[in-house]
Chains A and B, each alone.
Chain A
Amino acid sequence: MTIAFPEPDESVLARREAIRAKLAEIVHPEALIVSEDERRAYETDGLTAYRQMPLAVVLPSSTEEVSAIMRVCHAEGVKVVARGAGTSLAGGAIPQPDAVVLGVAKMARILAVDFDNRTARVEAGITNLAISAAVSHEGFFYAPDPSSQLACTIAGNIAMNSGGAHCLKYGVTVNNVLGVTMVLVDGTVVELGGQHLDAEGLDLLALVVGSEGQLGIVTEATVRILRAAEGARPALLGFPSAEAAGACVADIIGEGLLPVALEYMDKVAIEITEGFAKAGYPLDVEAMLIAEVEGCDADIDEQLRRIVAIAERHGVTTVRVSASEAESAAIWKGRKAAFGATGRISDYICMDGTIPTGQLPLVLRRIDEIVRREGLRCANVFHAGDGNLHPLILFDINKPGAMEKAERAGEHILKLCVEVGGCLTGEHGVGIEKRDLMTYQFNRADLHQQMRVRAAFDPGWLLNPAKVFPLQGRIAA
């Protein structure tokens, strides 16, 4: 345990029963969780090394209930940690002993689909994939596709400005949400945006997306839905060196091609994945790219032809161009299983820094040095088109000190990302995981400015307060 949590507020702990009783007046009995056994399911999220038992968990069914809960918590000075599906890899939904977890998972309905205006109105607890599922019969989809999309909620996507494999073409959450209903810390309900484009007045919606549950509780959202292209097919390209694969990425983009996805896997990741998924990936290459393009058949053929021609200039040794849905699925099978396959052979922590893509060869070499220095191994799987790295640092949690070594390596990798002009987190969020590294990327004035804007929404630091900003040096206005 190297990440600290703030000391709980004893006065809140002392009023525990009274606070629970007030919450019990708002929601159905089954929507308020107070027993220790049941609360345990909410003590962590995707960052399972850290656990904190919340004071209570409340699972409201409507914006009105959320508003009433916030009024009570605000009046009682109780902290509130918003939670979607609890898939955060950054600890964004990990609670604290003096906080109420407000889970939106019960609010999971599609409220309206408007194909003519290409929007869907949804409750915030709906899963990412359920939105696409609800509109796919008309050939539409919701574009951001984080790899947890089967489980993660749009509420969590908004909190972390989630991306996915396809954001090179379709953007991230902030580019695909038109409006939200949000409950403020004091229970006030506001509408930001709507079914139209651009903000009226200040663009508070853009600020709320990616704010990690610190500005309010989003209960509903209007999202853009897009008509899918006629088809999409990938090509798998294997290279004898990381440098060659990196240079190929630069040239694909430099020549004006815009694959909808451009994924990178290194040798370690390929070996681990192949041992599990049996996707037929080449084991004799140092690095592999999956480039997927969209359009009609002829369009796809031409784009893939150009991509392969670029890859040949960079000494590609394995080329597999998909000609059918089955072949496409086979190419994607390993990539999609990469994290799961890694989890089967080892404990790991997943980093999420972004770098300028031109720095790719240098950064990959330095990452290798960093993890070796700690006596560990690393598998690299990431979105090459946008420079969003996901080094998986492998370690054995049963070995004393191994996790600390992995965390130390992770910290050095993220520092490196910032040094070369990138950032600490591309799509997972800061959460608690990178909270204490924020000073690498921002100076005191930058952080103070962000905290002042935060305080405009939550002057008492009640909303998800242990996250994003280092615990020391906080300001309220």
Chain B
Amino acid sequence: MTALLEPASEADACAEVADAIAARAPLDLRGRGTKAGVGRPGQAARTLSSARLSGITLYEPAELVIAARAGTPLAEIEATLASRNQALTFEPPDWRALLGTTDEQTIGGITAGNLSGPRRIAAGAARDSLIGARFVNGRGEAIKSGGRVMKNVTGLDLARLLAGSWGTLGFVTEVTFKVLPRPERTTTLVLHGLDGAAAATAMAKALSSPYEVTGAAHLPAGPHGPSRTCLRLEGFAFSVDYRTGELQRLFRREASEVVDGEIAAALWREVRDVTPLAEPGDAVWRISTVPTRGHGVAEAIARQAPARWFSDWGGGLVWLACPAEGDAGASLVRQALREAGGHATLVRAPHAIRAAVDVFHPQSAPLRLLGERVKGALDPHGLFSPGRMHPGA
């Protein structure tokens, strides 16, 4: 059992890091740990958690901005925004079912993982909405980067660098996000029975239309029925109704149906939360590649291993499940991406496999070196989540 440190203020967090420096004792960084199983297994004897750094510190609906301490539950932020008809536009996912965890997700954890949902293709990832952050560096100093305004090029953008660093660069204490109005109405055009290649073509066609498609996912045929290719439209009701009609006209040769309301919302929640592959068992990969090549990557792997998959982001995000044995398909996944381009993360796998294979995508030597130097600039003593992203770093 590792010791759990839960500072109640940024100053306390600085003190904890100073203690860790003095004791040369590394720290695994986390919020409430719902995604602690992502990455190479933790190696530190102590865990530094932001769970007690909680609460919204700023919300200005007319300025489209919200700031909160890192340990604030995502649910609290989403409810607060919803009360003013706003939302985090990057559609943060809920991986708890996938990862078999139950605690609250925190906004700091979403930031540290740079997680986003289907709207990524239209509205960017968490880092695209992130406009400021405060964090404690590996010297035990409180650092701020960015701010509360959405246009800001004052100094190096360390806030965005922290997004997606999985707790290896700094202990995030507060984050500030740009928010947007919640769509008044959502509809989804579902095309039935397309194979991977035809779906990729259809999604590219939809995303290249002027109708502002904000979700494009493909769920291949399975025991539940024929394949579904889902195209989402959002916005003001009068606008969505018009665009839905136009999109239907664009795909008039395909078998299709329009769904909306709770049915459409549930569909996109499933895509966002990886529900089709969430039942316990298989290892699960998150593959980011060139959208028109996503199905090819998935099919190449599935020809050589019993893999199941679906895609999001117009085909550019492939979620793929492989048996949790051997290297969990790592060599097949890496091989497929060598040709297609992109990267893959082993989001879910047993401890032993995550300790043995590269969980994050292996990098070229110069990039790895650069990454190590950047890590050294923020965390000179190598205290934060050692080895989580790459062995030895």
Contact = CB atoms under 8 A, between A and B. Distances in A.
A133 B152 CA distance: 28
Nearest to A216: B370
Interface in A137-182: 138-140, 160-161, 163, 167, 171-172, 174-175
Given A194-B341, A302-B239, A452-B377, A118 B208 contact: yes
B152 A354 contact: yes
Contacts of A210: 153, 156-157
Contacts of B65: 356
A427 interface: yes
Contacts of B164: 198-199, 202-203
Interface string B291-335: 110000000000000000000010011000000000000000000
B149 to A, nearest CB: 4
Contacts of B21: none
A258 B150 CA distance: 14
Interface string A364-388: 0000000000000000000100111
Contacts of B246: 296
A449 to B, nearest CB: 5
A3 to B, nearest CB: 17
A209 B161 CA distance: 11
B147 A117 contact: no
A411 B155 CA distance: 17
Contacts of B149: 354-356, 386-388, 421-423, 426
Interface string A439-454: 0011001110110111
Given A196-B288, A253-B62, A256-B85, A449 B208 contact: no
A206 B161 contact: yes
Contact-residue size bin, chain A (C-beta under 8 Å from the other chain): 35 or more
Contacts of B341: 194-196
A202 B155 contact: no
A358 B152 contact: no
A197 B121 contact: yes
A396 interface: no
Interface of B: 60-65, 85-86, 114, 116, 120-121, 124-125, 127-128, 137, 141-145, 147-158, 160-161, 163-165, 168-169, 180-182, 184, 201, 204, 207-210, 212, 236, 238-239, 242-243, 246, 288-292, 313, 316-317, 341-343, 360-361, 363-364, 366-368, 370-371, 373-378, 389-390
29 contacts: A115-B204, A161-B153, A194-B342, A195-B342, A197-B313, A198-B114, A198-B120, A202-B371, A203-B163, A206-B161, A206-B163, A214-B156, A228-B210, A229-B210, A251-B62, A256-B181, A258-B181, A299-B239, A299-B242, A386-B151, A387-B63, A388-B151, A423-B154, A426-B153, A438-B155, A450-B158, A456-B374, A457-B370, A457-B373
Which 9 pairs between the two chains have the least Cβ-Cβ distance? A256-B181, A200-B343, A426-B151, A206-B160, A456-B373, A452-B377, A250-B62, A196-B342, A254-B62
